[in-house]
Structure 1
Amino acid sequence: MPLVTLSEVLAAKDQYCAVGAFSTYDLYTAQGIIQGAERANLPVIAMVGGPVLARPGNEYIGKILVELAEKAAVPVVVFLDHAKDFGVCLRAMKMGFSAVMIDGSHLSFEENISLTSKVVEAARCLGVSVEGELGALAGIEDGEEVKNSKMTDPQRVSEFIAATGVDALAVSIGNAHGLYNGEPNLNFDILKECEGQSKIPLVLHGGTGLTKNQFALAVEHGIKKINIGTEVKKAYIEAFIATHQHKPNSYDMIGVPQACKEAVSDLVYEKLRFFDSDWRKSI
């Protein structure tokens, strides 16, 4: 199965379903993500964060992921997540990534359009999909007033899409990276307005910790890609600790990583099936 772009995967899906996107950190998370997708027989998006790729030596993670994706039995998008500058996006594209996210949410609206458009122009030449972001994800530590101020303005969605030519758009509706303190408060009214203004797929970041009902409502109202990062790390580390503690004196560098890979695979399998069709049971 060839490596595919984000546009190809999202266009092939039913109108009312989403594709899971999972953060990748090493060989075992990469293998676990693809293995989980193959078990589910569903496409998957394997992400490498811009800050991860920027670290010295970490380009090998990207290269390994591209190679694994090219050999996978299901469609795999190799995706650069939350890149803040053009250079990192170009680097990922040249490495064979099939999609990139340029995050200009920290900039003014005009500057965000300018940066995102530059990435889109380069990506078009290389056959790569681009995700942009409008609005900004608040931190877990932010209060409700701050979170509200960072949410996506639905009235600017169509203008941003037309000006940049992005293939998908990440929106902010009260979602956040990391673990939520209590149940997250998502503004589905804003999501509904964004859906009405957008002719391209919408993306939800900060998926770890959302309830099944919240995921289901998100998919019902236009979300086509859902990012899971912290939950991947949690599954990996918990499997590492449990397996090591079972035989702490063995320092099992074969069994422990395999257990971590299986934990990630199980997580991906369950999430992909839920986002694809099982979400309907939670409405």
Structure 2
Amino acid sequence: MSIATLREVLKTGHDRGAIGAFSTYDLFTAQGIMNGAEKAGLPVIAMIGAPVLNKQGNEEIGRLMVRLADKAKVPVVVFLDHAKDFESCMKAIRLGFSAVMIDGSHLSFDENVQLTKKVVTVAKAVGVSVEGEIGALAGVEDGEGVVSSKMTNPDDVPRFADLTGVDALAISIGNAHGLYKGKPNLNFGILEKSAKLTQTPLVLHGGTGIEKKQFARAIDLGIKKVNIGTEVKCAFMDTFTKLHSENKEAYDLVGIPQAIKQAVAEVAEKDLKFFAEQWREYLK
């Protein structure tokens, strides 16, 4: 199965579900995500954050993701998440990624458009999809934090999409990176208006901790891609901690990584099935 682009896997139209995007950090998270997708029989987005990929030596993780995706039995989008600069996007494209996110949400609207359009122009010339973002999410992701959030102005959505030509657009409706403190308070009015004003698929970041009924309403209103990062981290660390604490003297670097891979696969399989079909059960 060849590597897929974001444009190819995002299903447009009401009531067609969403696709999960899962954070990748190493061999075992990459294998787990793709194994989970194969068990679900659904396409998946394996993403790595720009802060992770840009660490010394971590280009090898990107290359590994591309190789694994190329051999997967389901379509896999190899995706760069939250790049803040043009150079990071170009690095991912050179590594063989099929989609990149350029996050100019920290800039003014006009500066965000300029940066995003620059990435889109180069990426589309080589068949790579691009996600943009307007509005800013609070929280910490992969070592980088944003103190305050800024809700998306729905009126900016169609203008930004038309000016940049992005294939998907992340919006801020009260979602946040990391673990939520209390129940997430999502502004579905912003989402509903945004979806009515554009045909560009909309993206929900900060998926870990959002309740199923909230996911169902978000997907029903137009969300086509959901990012899951912290849930992958929890599956990894909780599995490692539990198994190591049960037999510390073993220092089991053979069995524990295999268990981690399985735990991540279960997260991916469960979430992919929910975002694709099972969310409808929670609209009642």
The interval holding the TM-score normalised by the smaller chain is: over 0.9
Q: 2:161 is matched with which residue?
A: 161
Q: Which residue of 1 aligns with 2:70?
A: 70
Equivalent pair of 1:16/1:222 in contact (CA under 8 Å) = no
In the alignment, the residues of structure 1 paired with residue 187 and residue 226 of structure 2 have an alpha-carbon distance, to the nearest angstrom, of: 16
2:193 aligned counterpart, secondary structure = helix
Amino acid corresponding to residue 268 of structure 2 in structure 1? V
The 2-side partners of 1:10 and 1:53 are apart by 24
Correspondence for 1:112: 112
- Aligned position for 1:240: 240
Unaligned residue ranges in structure 2 (runs of 5+): none
Deviation of the 1:142 alpha carbon: 8.8
CA RMSD of aligned residues (A): 1.5
- Deviation of 1:14 after TM superposition, in Å, equals 7.7
2:97 corresponds to which residue? Answer: 97
Q: In the aligned structure 2, how far is the partner of 1:12 from the partner of 1:132? A: 17
Unaligned runs of at least 5 residues, structure 1: none
Q: Distance in 1 between matches of 2:269 and 2:50?
A: 25
1:264 equivalent in structure 2? 264
In 2: Cα distance, 1:124 partner to 1:247 partner: 51
Partner of 1:197: 197
What's the secondary structure of 1:79's corresponding residue? strand
Rounded Cα–Cα distance in structure 2 between residues aligned with 1:197 and 1:139: 28
SS of residue in 2 equivalent to 1:249: helix
Asked if 1:35 is matched to 2:29, the reply is no
**Partner residue in 2 for 1:16:** 16
Q: Is the 8 A contact 1:173 1:186 kept in 2?
A: yes
2:209 corresponds to 1:206:
no
Measure the CA separation in 1 of the matches of 2:225 and 2:197. 17
Q: Is residue 104–residue 112 contact of structure 1 (8 Å, CA) maintained in 2?
A: yes
In the TM superposition, what is the alpha-carbon distance from 1:12 to its structure 2 partner?
7.7
Shift of residue 169 of structure 1?
Answer: 0.3
Deviations 1:84-109 (A, max 9, x none): 00000001001100000000000000
Using the TM superposition, give the Cα deviation of residue 16 of structure 1 relative to its aligned residue in structure 2, in angstroms: 2.4
Q: Structure 1: how far apart are the matches of 2:10 and 2:72?
A: 18
Q: Could you tell me which amino acid in structure 2 is paired with residue 70 of structure 1? A: D
TM-score, scaled to structure 2 = 0.95
In 2, distance between residues paired with 1:202 and 1:83? Answer: 18
Structure 1 match to 2:229? 229
**Aligned counterpart, 2:187:** 187
Residue 139 of structure 1 and its aligned partner are, at CA, apart by 2.9
CA contact (8 A) 2:11 2:18 kept: no
**Residue of structure 1 in register with 2:275 after alignment:** 275
Separation in structure 1 between the aligned mates of residue 273 and residue 18 of structure 2, nearest angstrom: 10
What is the CA-CA distance between 1:13 and the residue it aligns to? 8.6
